[in-house]
Amino acid sequence: MKGVLILPILLVAAAAAGADPQAPAVLEGFGGAAEPSAAALYAEFCAGCHGQDPVPLSGGPYPALFGNPQIAAAGAVYVAVKALHGTGNMYPLCAFASDAEIAAIANYLAAANAHQGAPLSVEAVAPLRPAAGDCPVSH
């Protein structure tokens, strides 16, 4: 039983040790439940195709999201729209990610690419979503 309790503590400590110091440790507004950090959300939703900072996947059709001039220029709204609507081979996240998750990932990538604009609020994500019925729920 002690092992079961220690494992989550070790996982949280390990994640915090490698976390981006500018990224929030947890997202707020989830009824007291700890939500994953923006870096953890990126790892869950994006890194499988786009690679982990700073190592992009090589030889694939998917662009690196760190050191990305489009994100540096356009910022979090650009990331959120691409994530919600998908593009080319990228499946849209509109059915899988909450507004808070999209905002966290978008702000994380905008900051990582040194975009100077204001962060994207959670409330600003909903109007960016596809219209009802236009968001596929499975591959």
Lowest mean pLDDT among 11-25, 36-50, 94-108, 120-134: 11-25
Residue 78 has pLDDT above 70, yes or no: yes
Q: Over range 63-88, report the average pLDDT.
A: 94
Distance, in Å, from the CA atom of 92 to the CA atom of 90, rounded to the nearest integer, reads 6
Band the pLDDT of 135: cuts 50, 70, 90.
confident
Q: How many domains does the chain have?
A: 1
pTM higher than 0.75 for the full model?
Answer: no
Residue 111 maps to a domain: yes
Calculate the dihedral angle through the C-alpha atoms of 35, 37, 40, 44, rounding to the nearest 10 degrees: 50
Structural domain harbouring 135:
38-139
pLDDT, one tens digit per residue, over 99-134 is: 999 999 999 999 999 999 999 999 999 999 999 788
Tokens of 136: 């596929």
CATH number of the domain to which 58 belongs: 1.10.760.10
Output the pLDDT for position 62.
83
Residue 28 maps to a domain: no
Output the pLDDT for position 92.
94
Residue 1 maps to a domain: no
